[in-house]
């Protein structure tokens, strides 16, 4: 059967948002942030460049701060991890969006599509949707992908090895997660070039600052193009089923009561976006942190078996997802000293919780790949705990350890002035030029 499907996705890779620095501040030391600055201004260039002094100020002065947009901002590990696991908090996506933008917001295709993501659903719908795909992400299934992951990383390095120069984001980190999620979704090889070439824009949709009408229009356009591609992929996989997640969801949809067509499309788009941007940024942020800390780089080179712990430390030190949120489903008497009325938003600063000295008493602002008991909140917690956590860990492990082994002379061109993407929730680099 022909695998012909038009690949007119345009910048489809950004559909879901698609889904560090050497820190001078030490625990207890004065934080170098102007006292007059708002405590939480997450899209300001200074915050994007280095959010960690801002987090320290929040934790020390107002750990359940109320933001300019009226949300409670939880910055300590205790409250963040409680909210993620507490059943009195949920997503309440439709009500939350209507409260912020007015009832007409649910006429916007991007908001309607997001309302079907498992990531934005509460039980019982969340349980049903997650149950349909969870088996593809078990530790065993993901471990079986290791040889394929290794082969992709080796091919990527083969393609640039003679050049002596590359952008570690575009030429290295990007290709692996996109290829793996395309494999998992059954996207034929000949359709992939458009995804490899797509610009890594978007991401603003996840930030806790309301979108402008222009940003909503742009997100609608990207969503429409991505939907158009996936609808054609559904047609292909109906005619020609494969051993992939798309075929699995089509079969569940055809069975009748398991999921609707809209839910299928929305969740495939979610998986596509969540499955790559975050992992590109884990690899990029991890490499930046490592090369800015030459002692840790030397340690990892001398002891490659430290890689698994190093990945946990990279996740903790400069997470590629900085925040998620919940809504109080009932009046909460006390969270970190404040009452939270029903319907109020709580922003959970994962990146701040990961540096909380209450949990990491040994200099949380230092990168230490031998740190014991690193349990970052970067993959969230509770019922929405990241489905792709183990996959992302293995991809980053193989990518970073292979790069160190195969290009031992590699150096970053300008480690002190990295170019960050302008989004807050998804924290990652625009580019990271390196030479060898
Ligand atoms: C470093 C890489 C990654 C990070 C830091 C990350 C982070 C997160 C976080 C924080 C959540 C929970 C959000 C919440 O509680 O509201 C989440 C959920 C999710 N992640 Fe990831 N993620 C990563 C990689 C991946 C990959 C590779 C995939 C898929 C291939 C994936 C798929 C998902 C899905 C489907 C959910 C929703 C789960 C649910 O709602 O039950 N993620 N991720």
How far apart are alpha carbons 370 and 374 in whole angstroms?
A: 9
Residue nearest to atom 6 of ligand 1 (CA): 379
Distance 141 CA to ligand 1 centre (A): 17
pLDDT more than 90, % of the chain: 82
Tell me the mean pLDDT in the region 271-290: 94
Residue 1: per-residue pLDDT: 36
- Tell me the pLDDT band of 408, cut-offs 50, 70 and 90: very high
One-letter-per-residue 3-state SS of the chain: CCCCCCCCCCCHHHCCCCCCCCCCCCCCCCCCCCCCCCCCCCCCHHHHHCCHHHHHHHHHHCCEEECCCCCEEECCHHHHHHHHHCCCEECCHHHHHHHHHCHHHHHCHHHHHHCCCHHHCCCCHHHHHHHHHHHHHCHHHHHCCHHHHHHHHHHHHHHHCCCCEEEHHHHHHCHHHHHHHHHHHCCCHHHCHHHHHCCCCCCHHHCCCCCCHHHHHHHHHHHHHHHHHHHHHHHHHHHCCCCCHHHHHHHHHHCCCCCCHHHHHHHHHHHHHHCCHHHHHHHHHHHHHHHCCHHHHHHHHHCHHHHHHHHHHHHHHCCCECEEEEEECCCEEEECCEEECCCCEEEEEHHHHCCCCCCCCCCCCCCCCCCCCCCCCCCCCHHHCCCCHHHHHHHHHHHHHHHHHHCCCCEECCCCCCEECCCCCECCEEECEEEC
Distance 317 CA to ligand 1 centre (A): 18
Distance 386 CA to ligand 1 centre (A): 4
Distance 34 CA to ligand 1 centre (A): 34
Residue 33: per-residue pLDDT: 60
How far apart are alpha carbons 196 and 182 in whole angstroms?
A: 10
How far apart are alpha carbons 393 and 388 in whole angstroms?
A: 9
Tell me the mean pLDDT in the region 17-45: 56
Give the mutation target among 87, 274, 326, 352 for probing the ligand 1 site: most ligand atoms within 8 A of CB.
Answer: 274
Tokens representing 307 are 């890689």
The model's pLDDT over 3-23, given as tens digits with 9 standing for 90+, comes to: 444 333 333 333 333 332 222
Q: Which range has the top average pLDDT, 17-26, 46-55, 223-232, 250-259?
A: 46-55
Residue 196: per-residue pLDDT: 80
Distance 274 CA to ligand 1 centre (A): 6
Domain boundaries, the chain: 12-435
The model's pLDDT over 74-119, given as tens digits with 9 standing for 90+, comes to: 999 999 999 999 999 999 999 999 999 999 999 999 999 999 999 9
Residue nearest to atom 19 of ligand 1 (CA): 386
Residue 199: per-residue pLDDT: 57
Residue 188 in this model has a pLDDT that exceeds 80: yes
Distance 278 CA to ligand 1 centre (A): 8
Residue 6: per-residue pLDDT: 39
Distance 270 CA to ligand 1 centre (A): 10
Nearest atom (ligand 1) to Cα of 270: 35
Distance 379 CA to ligand 1 centre (A): 6
Closest alpha carbon to 42 in 80, 69, 76: 69
Residue nearest to atom 24 of ligand 1 (CA): 388
Nearest atom (ligand 1) to Cα of 395: 27
Residue 219 in this model has a pLDDT that exceeds 80: yes
Residue with tokens 């960050």: 420
- Tell me the pLDDT band of 266, cut-offs 50, 70 and 90: very high
Give the mutation target among 121, 244, 388 for probing the ligand 1 site: most ligand atoms within 8 A of CB.
Answer: 388
Rounded to the nearest integer, the mean pLDDT of the chain is 90
Tell me the mean pLDDT in the region 147-164: 97
Residue nearest to atom 23 of ligand 1 (CA): 278
CATH class of residue range 12-435: mainly alpha
Whether residue 133 contacts residue 252, with contact meaning beta carbons closer than 8 Å, is answered with no
Nearest atom (ligand 1) to Cα of 321: 5
Residue 57 in this model has a pLDDT that exceeds 70: yes
Tell me the mean pLDDT in the region 411-418: 96
How far apart are alpha carbons 285 and 169 in whole angstroms?
A: 10
The model's pLDDT over 355-377, given as tens digits with 9 standing for 90+, comes to: 999 999 999 999 999 999 999 99
Closest alpha carbon to 185 in 246, 230, 133, 231: 246
Residue 16: per-residue pLDDT: 38
Residue 354: per-residue pLDDT: 98
Report the b/e string of 286-303 with b at 16+ CB within 10 A.
Answer: bbbbbbbbeebbebbeee
Tell me the mean pLDDT in the region 382-386: 98
Distance 244 CA to ligand 1 centre (A): 19
Residue 9: per-residue pLDDT: 38
Output the CA–CA distances (angstroms, integers) from residue 325 to 37, 117, 208, 339, 345, in the order listed: 23, 15, 9, 17, 7
How far apart are alpha carbons 330 and 384 in whole angstroms?
A: 19
Residue ranges lining ligand 1, Cβ < 6 Å:
84, 118-119, 130, 181, 270-271, 274-275, 278-279, 282, 319-321, 324, 378-380, 384, 386-388, 391-392
Residue nearest to atom 21 of ligand 1 (CA): 386
Residue 350 in this model has a pLDDT that exceeds 70: yes
Residue 35: per-residue pLDDT: 61
Distance 387 CA to ligand 1 centre (A): 6
Nearest atom (ligand 1) to Cα of 120: 40
Q: Which residue has the higher pLDDT, 276 or 300?
A: 300
Give the mutation target among 208, 315, 324, 387 for probing the ligand 1 site: most ligand atoms within 8 A of CB.
Answer: 387
Nearest atom (ligand 1) to Cα of 129: 41
Tell me the mean pLDDT in the region 235-263: 91
Whether residue 82 contacts residue 355, with contact meaning beta carbons closer than 8 Å, is answered with no
Distance 181 CA to ligand 1 centre (A): 13
Q: Which residue has the higher pLDDT, 161 or 29?
A: 161
Tell me the mean pLDDT in the region 142-162: 97
């Amino acid at each position: 059967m022909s695998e012909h499907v038009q690949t007119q996705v345009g910048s489809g890779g950004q559909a879901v948002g698609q889904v560090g620095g050497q820190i001078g501040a030490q625990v207890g030391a004065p934080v170098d942030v102007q006292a007059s600055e708002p405590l939480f201004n997450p899209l300001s260039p200074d915050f994007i460049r280095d959010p960690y002094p801002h987090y320290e100020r929040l934790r020390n002065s107002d750990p359940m701060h109320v933001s300019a947009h009226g949300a409670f901002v939880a910055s300590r590990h205790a409250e963040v991890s409680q909210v993620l696991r507490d059943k009195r908090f949920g997503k309440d996506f439709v009500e939350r969006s209507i409260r912020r933008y007015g009832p007409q917001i649910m006429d916007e295709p991007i908001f309607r599509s997001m309302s079907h993501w498992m990531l934005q659903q509460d039980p019982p719908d969340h349980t049903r949707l997650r149950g349909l795909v969870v088996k593809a992400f078990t530790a065993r299934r993901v471990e079986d992908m290791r040889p394929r992951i290794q082969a992709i990383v080796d091919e990527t390095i083969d393609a640039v090895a003679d050049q002596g120069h590359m952008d570690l984001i575009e030429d290295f980190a990007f290709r692996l997660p996109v290829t793996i999620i395309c494999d998992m979704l059954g996207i034929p090889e000949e359709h992939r070039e458009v995804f490899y070439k797509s610009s890594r824009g978007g991401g603003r949709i996840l930030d806790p600052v309301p979108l402008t009408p222009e940003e909503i229009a742009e997100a609608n356009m990207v969503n429409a193009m991505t939907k158009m591609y996936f609808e054609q992929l559904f047609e292909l996989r109906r005619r020609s089923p494969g051993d992939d997640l798309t075929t699995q969801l089509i079969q569940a949809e055809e069975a009748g009561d398991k999921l609707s067509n809209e839910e299928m499309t929305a969740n495939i788009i979610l998986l596509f976006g969540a499955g790559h941007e975050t992992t590109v940024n884990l690899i990029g942020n991890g490499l930046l942190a490592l090369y800015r800390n030459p002692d840790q780089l030397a340690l990892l080179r001398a002891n490659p078996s430290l890689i698994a712990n190093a990945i946990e430390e990279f996740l903790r030190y400069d997470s590629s997802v900085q925040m998620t949120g919940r809504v109080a489903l009932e009046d909460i008497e006390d969270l970190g000293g404040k009452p939270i009325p029903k319907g109020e938003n709580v922003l959970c600063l994962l990146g701040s919780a990961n540096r909380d000295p209450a949990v990491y008493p040994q200099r949380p602002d230092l990168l230490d790949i031998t740190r014991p008991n690193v349990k970052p909140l970067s993959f969230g917690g509770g019922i929405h705990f990241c489905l792709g956590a183990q996959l992302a860990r293995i991809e980053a492990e193989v990518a970073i350890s292979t790069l160190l082994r195969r290009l031992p002379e590699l150096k970053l061109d300008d480690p002190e002035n990295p170019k960050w993407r302008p989004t807050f929730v998804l924290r990652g680099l625009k580019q990271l030029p390196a030479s060898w």
